[in-house]
Amino acid sequence: MLTAPAAIPFHGVMRRLFIMLFCFWGPGAMAQPQALSIPAHPAEQAANGPAVLDAMLWQPAGRGPHPAIILLHGCAGMRNRAGQPFPRDTDWAQRLSRLGYLVLQVDSLTPRGESSLCGQGNDRRIRVSVERARDAYAALLFLQARGDVKPDRIALMGWSNGGGTVLWTLGRDNRARPAGLRHDFAAAVAFYPGCRTLSERRDPWQPVAPVLLLVGEADDWTPAPPCITLAARSGGRLEAHAYPGAHHDFDAPDTPQRVLRGIGGTASGTATIGTHPAAREDALRRVPEFLARVMPAR
């Protein structure tokens, strides 16, 4: 016997409509981001680190206040060798801004005189658990001081090295968390992070907010199995999804599959990257659905 489907509330219909538009909207023509400097974490300044961090701000339409998302780049930094922003990060920033999020991209490398952390041992100079976690909280404090941002509706999102930073930053025992913080991150998204260290901890890693983790099953740079283990031990606050056949950078637009060499963190010193169309399409749907569910822009 067939039954009529349950009625979908109007706000649910509108949310689904916005998500559908998000999936089909490409970068297109829109306002350019504003380049700015934000104050670094007090601990960085005390340790002779940078006093300010480079950033790019994407302003959504409307007066606000808006929910916001902080984007953390991968080991190659926020810009390529030609000084241009990486298409993957720009694509996501534009799409999220069009959904009504104020988006802030933070550069952890240039203010410290670095151009890449991808080589063997380079990630020890700027650590995901220390310097980059501090940068994430510096960005949070900067946004919370703005009148056009909802201070309790700020998410963190990163890729690869930036994805690892997301996990360390959201951990309940993260020492970079400022004392007396009124509102912590409300949600987080981690693309293909390195999960091995956190997954092998004796005391299970526990996030302070819901986290969505997306990784490729064929990733030979940051393998999926440790991330699945981490999710199983996280107390239900980490949603992990692994895409069959997808490699590192699966969500990057129009990136032919290729093998990188001289890569740190892999036994062979190589890693495969490239767009996986099906995984990318799913991520473009899954991320905004997750954010709308766990961090509603009320």
pLDDT tens digits, 281-292: 999 999 999 999
What rounded mean pLDDT belongs to the chain?
90
pTM above 0.85, yes or no: yes
Cβ atoms of residues 276 and 282 within 8 Å:
no
Give φ, ψ of 106 to 5 degrees.
-115, 130
**pLDDT for residue 7:** 44
Q: What is the band of 258 on the pLDDT scale with cuts at 50, 70, 90?
A: very high
The whole-angstrom separation of Cα 209 and Cα 295 is 10
Q: Using only C-alpha atoms, what is the Rg of the chain?
A: 18
What is the band of 4 on the pLDDT scale with cuts at 50, 70, 90? very low
Res. 1 pLDDT band, cuts 50 70 90: very low
Q: What is the pLDDT of residues 147-173, one digit of tens each?
A: 999 999 999 999 999 999 999 999 999
| Domains defined along the chain, listed by start | 32-294 (3.40.50.1820)
Cα angle value 287/216/211 (rounded, 5°): 40
Average pLDDT over residues 224-251: 97
